[in-house]
Copies of this chain bind each other. A is one copy, B any other.
Amino acid sequence: MNRHTPRIRDVARVAGVSTATVSRALSKPEVVSAATLEAVRAAVQATGYTINQSARNLRQRRTMGVVALVPNLANPFFSRIMAGVSAVLAPAGYNLLVVDTQGPGVERHIARTLDRSRADGLLVFDGTLPADDLLPDRQSPPVVMVCEWIEGLATPTIRVDNAAGARLAMAHLAGLGHRQIGHLLGPEGNVLAQARAQGARAALAERGLPVREDWFFPGDFSLESGRRGACEWIARPDRPTAVFCASDEIACGFIGEVQRRGLRVPKDVSVVGFDNIELVAHITPALTTICQPRRAIGEAAAKVIIALMEGDAAPGGHKVLPLELIERDSTSSPRN
């Protein structure tokens, strides 16, 4: 019958009221009379009307969209956080847009998202973005940093205390009797990696244990860098009896290579990871690791950005979620 999708005008005609009334019936039902409300409902049914979001967005000057800027979408670390974000955003009527900050020519694309007509809010998971772009001004939507942060940028941040997590790990290893403890680092410029390394150094120093830079192996959070770390670790004549890895993926890569070389975990080396991704409970040995409440991080981030978008000026600012050491089978007392 209708050659095009029904508009609010069609509903109004069928219901015998004005478009204003239809609009009100749909968005604030409490201001229209019961009879009219019913008529509108029926007309909506009859016409199969669905609202045109673009028109509403234009008029209301918002997009109902939240953009998540994620460094490397392929990293499974983010998936559970995203699930948490989505679980809060969706019921509130917001759309979750995902943008990968890696890859060629993304700068342009990111810049595009940074204005209000694109998104009402921004969740930034990447601490390496140029801080200038994220400064709050009239043009750009509110920003919440998640996990990572940018030094000197005062923006609400949801994160964990990474240094404290590193201390937990080191305390656990030291408590088991290890006195020679190394660290597999995350990527050089990364704030998480830095905080974890700094926490590890501090924990060693506090206990009077050696802080040897040649036991801090370079890496980048990836499996492959864990594997390389294992090669370097093995090659060292005086190698640490335990290592704390800046991520679970590093730990998996490390353990895999160590085992492939015929050594045993935890017998020959104890290993602690960071993140507690699902899988590490099931590898052999099950990985002792620092558990990040990933879903809670996502949920918290979503709640804060919603509060900001809906006008709450100061919705709590920085939020630091608790970390926890999960002891499994990859750590034990050193051999002797």
**Contact across chains for A100 and B90 when beta carbons are under 8 A apart:** yes
Question: Quick one: copies of this chain in the complex?
Answer: 2
**Contact across chains for B100 and A83 when beta carbons are under 8 A apart:** yes
Partner of A226, one of B57, B282, B295: B282
Q: Does chain B have a CB within 8 A of A118?
A: yes
Beta-carbon contacts of A247-261 to B below 8 Å, as 1s and 0s? 001001101110110
Partner of A260, one of B79, B115, B138, B284: B284
**Contact across chains for B48 and A53 when beta carbons are under 8 A apart:** no
| Cβ–Cβ < 8 Å partners of A205 in chain B | none
**Contact across chains for A58 and B50 when beta carbons are under 8 A apart:** no
The A interface is mostly helix, strand or loop, or mixed, namely mixed
- A67-84, CB < 8 A from B: 72-76, 78-80, 82-83
Partner of A79, one of B55, B79, B278: B79
**Contact across chains for A73 and B82 when beta carbons are under 8 A apart:** yes
**Once bound together, how far apart are the Cα atoms of A72 and B82, in whole Å?**
10
Closest residue to A73 on the B side, CB-wise? B83
Beta-carbon contacts of A197-234 to B below 8 Å, as 1s and 0s? 00000000000000000000000000100110000000
With A83-B72, A279-B249: A139-B55 Cβ-Cβ less than 8 Å: no
**Contact across chains for A283 and B252 when beta carbons are under 8 A apart:** yes
**Contact across chains for A98 and B96 when beta carbons are under 8 A apart:** yes
**Contact across chains for B86 and A100 when beta carbons are under 8 A apart:** yes
| Cβ–Cβ < 8 Å partners of A260 in chain B | 284, 286
**Interface window among A102-110, A301-309, A310-318:** A102-110
With A5-B139, A83-B74, A256-B283: A103-B117 Cβ-Cβ less than 8 Å: no
> A residues bordering B, Cβ < 8 Å?
4-5, 48, 50-55, 57-58, 61, 63, 65, 72-76, 78-80, 82-83, 86-87, 90-91, 95-100, 103, 105-106, 109, 115-118, 138-139, 223, 226-227, 249, 252-253, 255-257, 259-260, 277-279, 281-284, 286, 295
24 examples of A-B residue contacts, CB within 8 angstroms = A5-B116, A5-B117, A48-B139, A50-B115, A52-B117, A54-B57, A74-B79, A74-B82, A76-B76, A78-B79, A79-B79, A90-B99, A90-B106, A90-B109, A91-B105, A223-B279, A223-B281, A226-B282, A252-B279, A253-B282, A259-B284, A260-B286, A283-B283, A284-B284
